[in-house]
């Protein structure tokens, strides 16, 4: 005979989690605890109802019960720090707003200078690639400048274009210039 399910102490927490679930994953976790205890389903049947493997369903149950009983720390909210992030998204946004005040009006950004401003605002060092990722994360994108040099002479460039010798010439298909064999 199979062992009876444990987790009676987590039953109220599972009911509350079921009622407050906002995502399908949160609902699945609560149901992984509730279905065996309230509906009498075994682990295989519960896994079938949840659409997960037997192993995953068991892991969901044990993880929820451990968190509900206080044996493990509760999960962080999405608004808190991401995996190994040193700053919250709100702190990053505030640092970028302070550092990019002139950029919204069309000023040119120089990333090493921006990096120093962000580091001063956040209070810790940030790598250059971290600055680029932070800009992308908050919706800033690189706008490529024109292909002209700011001190270039547009009239001289146009005169050179008109008077330069053509490198490519279009030939008729049967002309001797188009025959590679000679």
156 vs 6, which has greater pLDDT?
156
pLDDT for position 157: 78
12 vs 98, which has greater pLDDT?
12
Question: 179 pLDDT exceeds 70?
Answer: no
**Local structure of 182: helix, strand or coil:** coil
Q: What is the pTM of this model?
A: 0.42
Cβ atoms of residues 56 and 47 within 8 Å: yes
Rounded to whole angstroms, the Cα distance separating 177 from 182 reads 8
pLDDT in tens, 84-141: 677 788 888 888 888 887 776 766 778 888 899 889 888 888 899 988 888 888 887 7
- Which value, in Å, is the radius of gyration of the alpha carbons in the chain? 32
Neighbours of 9 (CB within 10 A): 10
Class of domain 8-69: mainly alpha
Q: Which two tokens stand for residue 66?
A: 């451990």
Question: 36 pLDDT exceeds 80?
Answer: yes
Residues of the chain with CATH 1.10.10: 8-69
Q: Which two tokens stand for residue 10?
A: 């987590």
Q: Could you tell me which of 5, 6, 25, 10 has the C-alpha nearest to residue 67?
A: 10
pLDDT in tens, 40-64: 899 899 999 999 999 999 999 988 9
Cβ atoms of residues 138 and 96 within 8 Å: yes
């Amino acid at each position: 005979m199979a062992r009876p399910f444990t987790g009676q102490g987590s039953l109220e927490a599972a009911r509350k989690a079921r009622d407050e679930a906002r995502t399908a994953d949160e609902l699945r976790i609560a149901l992984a605890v509730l279905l065996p205890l309230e509906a009498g389903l075994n682990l295989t049947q519960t896994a079938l109802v949840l659409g997960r493997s037997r192993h995953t369903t068991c892991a969901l149950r044990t993880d929820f019960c451990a968190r509900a009983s206080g044996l493990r720390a509760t999960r962080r909210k999405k608004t808190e720090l991401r995996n190994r992030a040193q700053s919250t998204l709100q702190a990053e946004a505030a640092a970028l707003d302070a550092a990019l005040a002139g950029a919204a009006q069309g000023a040119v950004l120089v990333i090493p200078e921006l990096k120093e401003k962000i580091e001063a605002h956040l209070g810790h060092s940030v790598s250059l690639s971290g600055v680029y990722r932070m800009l992308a994360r908050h919706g800033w994108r690189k706008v490529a400048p024109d292909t002209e040099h700011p001190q270039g002479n547009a009239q001289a460039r146009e005169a050179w274009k008109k008077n330069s010798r053509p490198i490519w010439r279009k030939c008729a298909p049967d002309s001797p210039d188009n025959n590679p064999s000679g």
